[in-house]
Amino acid sequence: MHLQAVFLDRDGTLGGDGHFCHPKDFVPYPWTAPAIEVLRILRVKIFGLTNQPRISAGEAAEQDFAEEFARLGCDGAYVCPHALDADCACRKPRPGLLVRAAQVHDLDLTRCAVIGDVGATDMLAASQVGALKILVKTGWGVGSLTDYRHCWVDVRPDYVAQDVLDAAHWLRRAGATAPAPRVRPGPSGALRAIEGDGGPGPVGERICGS
């Protein structure tokens, strides 16, 4: 599978507890940086994908989140800043942010993955555009699979991961690589060791979500 980009939810996926957390207070999980390293090796684009309605209340700035995702190693951030009742096209589960990213970066969203902890937003948004759906069990993930499963009952995640690092490893095992090399091996040659580098690989088993 030639994956083009991975979209990462923030709260409950990269850190925090699933609730609002201002970027100045946000603490990534210990496994978040290693997960982004794995995705880097896969040579896919990495984007943040987050609903932050408190921006509309003036409690944070969109730029704060963009800078935070950049610090984490993302190539960009797609942030819905609108209020819950704004009826905007970009608040997950609506797919507006994904569609915008696809236009800007010329992406085939069926060759992209969304990793998030909330079925009713992250997985539904991914489903609407045909992206791979990976639910993490951090944040609201376990609740999404139990108490809130009815909110997204028609959608099955392609993989249920322990956390975002497990999700990244699953994509690696699935042979997810970018269509063409964009990164050359450095002097260390470290990238020569990439598993499945440059070639198509098997799509991972769809083992969860039943």
Looking at the annotation, which residues are catalytic?
Answer: 9, 11
Residue 91 interacts with Zn ion (CB under 5 A): yes or no: yes
Peptide bond into 34 cis (omega under 30): no
Residue 83 interacts with Zn ion (CB under 5 A): yes or no: no
Q: Which amino acid is at 36?
A: I
Residue 11 interacts with Mg ion (CB under 5 A): yes or no: yes
Strands annotated E in the chain: 5-8, 45-51, 76-80, 112-116, 132-136, 159-161
Residue 61 interacts with Zn ion (CB under 5 A): yes or no: no
**At its nearest, how many Å lie between Mg ion and the CB of residue 162?**
15
Task: List the single partner that 158 binds among Zn ion, Mg ion, none, CB under 5 to 8 Å by kind.
Answer: none
Is 96 or 179 the residue whose CB approaches Zn ion more closely? 96
Residue 98 interacts with Zn ion (CB under 5 A): yes or no: no
CB 163 within 8 A of CB 138: yes
CA distances from 20 to 16, 32, 188, 191, 194 (A): 8, 18, 41, 37, 36
Residue 98's φ and ψ, nearest 5 degrees, are -65, -40
CB 65 within 8 A of CB 52: yes
Task: List the single partner that 45 binds among Zn ion, Mg ion, none, CB under 5 to 8 Å by kind.
Answer: none
Q: Give the residue, chosen from 117, 158, 163, 166, that forms a contact with Mg ion under the rule CB under 5 A.
A: 117
Q: Give the residue, chosen from 7, 9, 138, 141, that forms a contact with Mg ion under the rule CB under 5 A.
A: 9
Q: Given the rule CB under 5 A, which of 31-39, 79-87, 117-125, 142-150 is the region that contacts Zn ion?
A: 79-87
**At its nearest, how many Å lie between Mg ion and the CB of residue 139?**
5
Q: Give the residue, chosen from 6, 8, 12, 125, that forms a contact with Mg ion under the rule CB under 5 A.
A: 12
**At its nearest, how many Å lie between Zn ion and the CB of residue 65?**
13
Task: List the single partner that 91 binds among Zn ion, Mg ion, none, CB under 5 to 8 Å by kind.
Answer: Zn ion
H helix intervals, 20-154: 32-41, 62-72, 96-105, 124-129, 141-145
Residue 80 interacts with Zn ion (CB under 5 A): yes or no: yes
Residue 21's φ and ψ, nearest 5 degrees, are -145, 120
CB neighbour class for 178 (10 Å; exposed up to 12, middle 13-18, buried from 19): middle
Q: Which residues in this chain contact Zn ion in the complex, by CB under 5 A?
A: 80, 82, 88, 90-91
Which residues lie near Mg ion (CB under 5 A)?
9, 11-12, 117
